A and B are shown apart, each in its own frame.
Chain A
Amino acid sequence: MTLRQKLILLSTVSKGLMAAVLLLVLPWAVQTLVLRHTDATLRTELRQVQARIQEVGIEEFLPQGNRPRRTHYDLLQDEFIDLQAAATGARGRDTIGTFARPRQGGLVDFRVLRHHTQFRGRPYTVEIGKSIASIEEVYDLLRRLAAYALVFAVLTTLLFELGVISYLLRPFDYIVERLRAVQGPTLPELPPLHTSTSDFQYLDGSIQQMLAKLQSVFDHERQFIANTSHELLTPISILQSRFENMLRAETLPEDAELQLVTSQKTLQRMTATLRTLLLISRVENNQFARQERVLVREVLAEVAAELEDRIGEEELTVHWEMAGEPVLDPANRTLLFTLFFNLLSNAVKYNQPGGRIDLRGHGEPDGTYRLTIRNTGRPIPAEHLPQVFDRYSRFDEAAAEGYGLGLAVVRSVTQLHGIAIAVTSDAARGTEFVLRLPEPVSGAGRVGAAKAMG
């Protein structure tokens, strides 16, 4: 769940709760308010009646003879005023309550204010009433009004908050976008982040600091590799040239000649190792740009052509069963050549004479491409399988043969290209490398305009 969704959810839930509580409380509150208002009205009316009695005397209000008489002010009989002589001793405070009173032949609930008074020494009881039905109309109206206001308030604040949340969180998307743009050790110049939220400024600042540190680590390593490269390759270069010059001398004794050739060979092995180590470092230091669109089949065919003599010498057969046209994009063609060269030359080196190499591949539903390179050689023992991609892992100590650095290069190059690689090996099926090539990023890159490395 994203932060935005959570905030929206929080806001919605809190509003919902508030609305629910209000809806529960409102009827009661409105009712209380309306009743209180009614009671106040009744009291006002009582005062008016008392004033009237003082003015015109009580007779006008009293029932004539034995027939009780009521004065109704309105046609609908929603209100009444009733004055009766009371039994002596009927005194006390005013009471207000809801009582049933006859109206048009039936009993109807009224809100009634009963008041005991004395006029010229005789006690009277005054009742002023208002029908509950008429009160409830007002009450209904108020309740509906309150509900509408509530819904309106909830919806408008919710919409407003959605807008504000989106606006507030916009810098977050922006920061993520900028981070996504960081690929490899050369960091793009990031424009300053415009936000008034100090948290985001803090986050952005920390990220920038981290990136700067990362950059300096990359720079240092790059510098280190360059220096090492220079410091080690220069003396090797001197030795190699010296050996070559010495070998040209015509007066050299034969055994000295042989020793020189042997030394040269040792030096050559050292050079190859050093170059490979530097290559791995450079790949891991991201010094290789991936800017090309590479047709994998084409590179494999090139590698196979490069190895044709060895394949022929070992009388191996290569079986191609590749469906479709796998493409790596963006990619570095030179590195991919090295990758497949190492895998295929291993498949040749560790094969048995007359064996076979299978190159199979097919596209997967998720857009990736599954490529397998299998050879019919001696299997790698299961306990060595997890280490084959490590630098200098040897799978057969006795034979003193190893994958050396070749598969370490393979691992670096596959990692750089986002290719997943796995290896299985058993006596029945031989050794199989499975590569899962990622879906090409369409549009970018151009087809293999690589200037191959020397």
Chain B
Amino acid sequence: MASKTLVLPGETISPDILPTPTNPNLLLKLGPGLRHVPPSTITSTIAGPLCIDQKKNAIWVENNSGRYIPQPNDLIIATVHHSSTDFYSCSITPHTTFPQLPQLAFEGATKKTRPQLNSGSLIYARVLTASKHTDPEIVCYNPSTGKSEGMGELKGGMVFDISLGLARRVLMAKQREDGGIAVLEEIAENVAFEVAVGRNGKVWVKSGGVKETLLVGRALQEADVQGLGVEEQVKLVRKMIRQV
């Protein structure tokens, strides 16, 4: 699926390796880390492996470091910083401008039934709009269906920091096959827990007790730091469960 060539910023992507669309109507999609210099040059802007998806006619540069930049439709875990009349100001990453969460952007929220969030509350939300010129707007429901779809305030539990790359992998549809993540499935066989993953490099875990919650969080962090493969993750989880 993805071919591995390493690019540094400023390299021109040769037109030969661009994906050839099966359907001529499908336009070439440039993902993160690439820019189009008119008329027809494509250059890289960040360092990392160049990935190509022939089926979707897409090309992008993967990266695992740096600060999270909000993108529309990303699921994120944010902290409420303060509240004003119509909005909650939340923090996705520290030291950036606060994205706004309308107080009515919850499932079934009306002026009377809207949830009251204190500063310091955690929320699971989706980025509605984000562009470089405006502050992002986030919502806790799906605007097309009006349903919460798991978003909203996160009560109890604990948040763990993970790398942006791991967050992306855990959120993939086929966690084990595409993302190479076996930790969560493996733990779920023995321990019941709830989990929410934010693209901003945060995982929220809630379970019966402190030990169980820590098990999930630490297993993920461990797999992240050491770059464990599926098999190794299974081994790690079994070892950790035995210890608890």
- Tell me if chain B binds chain A: no
Which residues of B are at the interface with A, using a C-beta cutoff of 8 A?
none
A-side residues, CB < 8 A to B, are none
